[in-house]
Structure 1
């Protein structure tokens, strides 16, 4: 980056911590370098000094000095930028719906949604391949067990993730599980509760 830049915070970034805002806009910027710029007052919001945990609001102006960015973070990411072509291809094959707010995937059994001990491949890591033009990675808003196949809804933006998470929390959105069985079950009907 050559000189000082001013960027206006957008509506979808409301309430975001400043350090996360920087990670979204400048993925190659190291945490230590960001902290140094904040401590020295070179980064400002609406002209005032700020800290990493400052929450930004729409319409605020962030002053950004010339940055030292890692080589991998220099070029801006574009829609569906491919960091890992294999992951992007797998996601594309699983995609059953897409709109400006969400991706809906048909997750196969055997694929974990999130990482953990013994998990080498998971949807959350694969979503790195589908960052948007701003470098924002799609966000998980619910999970399915590794051995469960089914519909997985993923938010395309931070704002969509917040709204979907609230819908799940308020039970405005629910999950329904169907089981395929071989043979005749001992009970004709039953219910499994969590």
Structure 2
């Protein structure tokens, strides 16, 4: 029998990546390693609550719903001779800012924000492991696995609720740096293209520009140009899934290294030139402190691998 380990009560606020999903399917992904029979059992018993109310397995999650997930026992994989995954890197050294209410991390590229879909441990699980003294620790928002940069975690439930409110109301400022293929002409350009989420035949989540999609607004500012590429600053006015990536790809300026919406032959060629991942970095967030109201400006420097590639472009001019 597999070894079992106790988990703690978890509070999760539903964001755009999980809205409209059935709660049983959400729990299967969130409680990786927990038998499906046990997931259905805690649903039937009322131990899982949505906005403090009992729900059944067919409940569809709504943006902003707050889930209470009870302590569960999850299976650890047995030693079957297969190679073990590399241990996640320590994240405490990537902390940009911390107080009693929140933590701002400079998330490394290649690390998912949470476990699931074949990932045993993401940022939130790793941070809880490194800081068992934190009685409450939840993601405030998400970044794609390959995207680096500023990521917020809440250390108090009141801070989480207020930060979610501020993000819904557009009271936070999020800025990214990205390198795209092609020659961007406008010094500053506002892009408003609706985005629609769908699932491919293989079960992969994707997003496309579609009139029936949700409103999405990005402001792009040209920072620097090279013969084949441009460095852009992207300011998010809405926070849709894959928003920057899809807006740029649709306009004919794919992000270099993007393995979903990018130029795949170009990506392969750039790997040989030293760019091993998507060039998208969340370099700045400006927000009011959720408890004190003080203005915070949180910045994450461009990672060394991306700096090196920009220097390479400079030498090739």
* TM-score, scaled relative to structure 2: 0.31
More strand by share: 2
Q: Which has the higher contact order (CA 8 A, sep 6+)?
A: 1
Provide TM-score, normalisation by structure 1: 0.49
